[in-house]
Each structure stands twice: as C-alpha cells, then as structure tokens.
Amino acid sequence: MPVYKTNSEEETIALGERLAKDVLPPRGLVLLQGNLGAGKTTLVKGIARGRLACPPDEVSSPTFTLIHEYGEPVRVYHIDLYRLEHERQVATLGIEELLDRDALVIIEWGEKFPRLWPRDRVEIRIERHEGDQRGFVTTATNAS
C-alpha cells in the first residue's frame, strides 16, 4: 500500500474517508502509530464517516474512556491505549472479542503492546513533516 500526504486536518479527514471506502478491509484490526498530535484521531474521524458510522465531529479521543463505538450497529471501534501500562490492563478490555465482530477495530498506541496483536492487520504510521504536512505510511500484514 502506498504513502499518502495531507496538509491540513480537513485533508486528513478526507483521506480517512477514502481509505475506509477503497483501501481498508471490511473488518479487522488497524493499528495507528504516531506521536501525540500526529493526527491519529483526526484520521479516525474520516474513517468513521467513510464507513457511514457517524459524522467526524462525533469522533473524539478515547484517551480516558479507552473504547469508543461508532455506528448502530457498531461499524468502528476506536481504542486509545496511551494511558495503559501493562498487558494485563489491555486484556481486561476484551479487544479479542471485538476482533471477531463485523467492524473495524482501530487502535492508537497499540505499538506499546506488540505481543498482543494478530498478524493479520493494517498498520498506518503517521509522520509529522514541515508545518501541517503529515505522511501516512500504510502496511498490510496478512497471515494467509
């Protein structure tokens, strides 16, 4: 999968929408990697819209709530592990069970717990460039 670039928050939302419609699998795990303020949550705003789950302004950071659900039925689970420190804390969230559902499971800060994730997943690494420019490097790992 290629590298994408955006120059504003709006462009990142539009990119998320396009990825949701044309690039991301129908269901399964998406790990979003990038520093604080890189644009992970902003990308999820677009993905949620692309999956017809909810408008962008209903997406907010699950930093304290840990898991947000978008859509009825839920089409996107949005998880933020920034505040968790131990694998056993993550285990109590029941993410494995969410991965069996017919939805995307998008995780911010999943790289803190590399041993927990199935191999079959999409990773999107967000790089901050000059000004408001961001690069989105996508890789798909497929178990099959």
The helix (H) or strand (E) run that includes residue 143 is none
Residues that bind Mg ion (CB under 5 A): 40-41, 61, 108
For residues 32-71, which are near ligand ADP according to CB under 6 A?
34, 36-42, 61
Q: Choose the contact partner of 42 out of Mg ion, ligand ADP, none; CB within 5 to 8 A by kind.
A: ligand ADP
Which DSSP string do the residues of 56-118 spell out, in sequence order? GGG----TTT-EEEETTTT-EEEEE-TT--SHHHHHTT-HHHHTTSSSEEEEESGGG-GGGS-
Q: Which is nearer to Mg ion, 40 or 134 (CB)?
A: 40
Report d(CA 56, CA 141) in Å as an integer.
28
CB of 144 to Mg ion, least distance (A): 31
CA torsion, points 100, 60, 35, 139, in degrees to nearest 10? 40
Please state the closest distance from residue 134 (CB atom) to ligand ADP, in A.
4
Angle at 93 between CA 17 and CA 9, to 5 degrees: 25
Query: CB of 77: closest distance to ligand ADP in angstroms?
Result: 16
34 binds, among ligand ADP, Mg ion, none (CB under 5 to 8 A by kind): ligand ADP
Q: Which of ligand ADP, Mg ion, none has residue 124 at its interface (CB below 5 to 8 Å by kind)?
A: none
How far apart are CB 112 and ligand ADP at their closest, in Å? 14
Identify any residues that bridge with 139 across adjacent strands, giving them in sequence order.
123
Interface with ligand ADP (CB under 6 A): 6-9, 11-12, 34, 36-42, 61, 108, 132, 134
